[in-house]
A = this chain, B = another copy of it.
Amino acid sequence: MHSSEDTRQRLIETAGPIFAEKGFRATTVREISERAEVNLASINYHFGDKESLYLATVHHAGLTCQQRIPLPEWEPGTPPAQKLHGFITVFLNRVAVDHEPVWIGQLITRELIYPTRACEHFVREFARPNFEMLDQILCELLGPDVPPTKRQLVIFSIIGQCLHYRFCRPVIHALLGPEEFAKYNVELLSNHITAFTLAALATLRRDERTIEVPS
Q: Which 3 A-B pairs have the closest CB atoms?
A: A160-B164, A199-B203, A200-B200
Interface residues on chain A, size class: 35 or more
Smallest beta-carbon distance A85→chain B, Å: 15
Which residues of the partner chain B approach A203 to less than 8 Å between Cβ atoms? 198-200, 202-203
A196 adjacent to chain B (CB < 8 Å): yes
Contact with A113, one of B167, B197, B204 (Cβ below 8 angstroms): B167
What are the interface flags for A138-174 relative to B under an 8 Å C-beta threshold, 1 for contact and 0 otherwise?
Answer: 0000000000010011101101111111011011101
**Would you call A63 an interface residue if the criterion is a C-beta within 8 Å of the partner chain's C-beta atoms?**
no
Q: Give the Cβ gap from A11 to chain B, nearest Cβ, in Å.
A: 22
A211 interface residue (CB < 8 Å to B): no
The reply to whether B192 and A157 contact each other, CB–CB distance below 8 Å, is yes
CA of A183 to CA of B160, assembled, Å: 18
A56 to chain B, nearest CB (A): 21
Q: List 26 A-B contacts (CB under 8 A).
A: A23-B114, A112-B168, A112-B171, A113-B167, A119-B170, A123-B171, A123-B175, A127-B175, A128-B175, A152-B176, A153-B196, A156-B161, A156-B172, A157-B161, A157-B192, A160-B161, A160-B164, A160-B168, A163-B167, A164-B164, A167-B167, A199-B200, A199-B201, A199-B202, A199-B203, A202-B203
Bound Cα distance from A164 to B113, whole angstroms? 10
Cross-chain contact of A164 among B26, B114, B123, B163 (Cβ < 8 A): B163
Interface residues of A (CB under 8 A from B): 23, 25-26, 112-115, 119-120, 122-123, 127-128, 131, 149, 152-154, 156-157, 159-165, 167-168, 170-172, 174-176, 180, 183, 189, 192-193, 195-204, 207
Total copies of this chain within the assembly: 2
Closest to A206 in B: B199
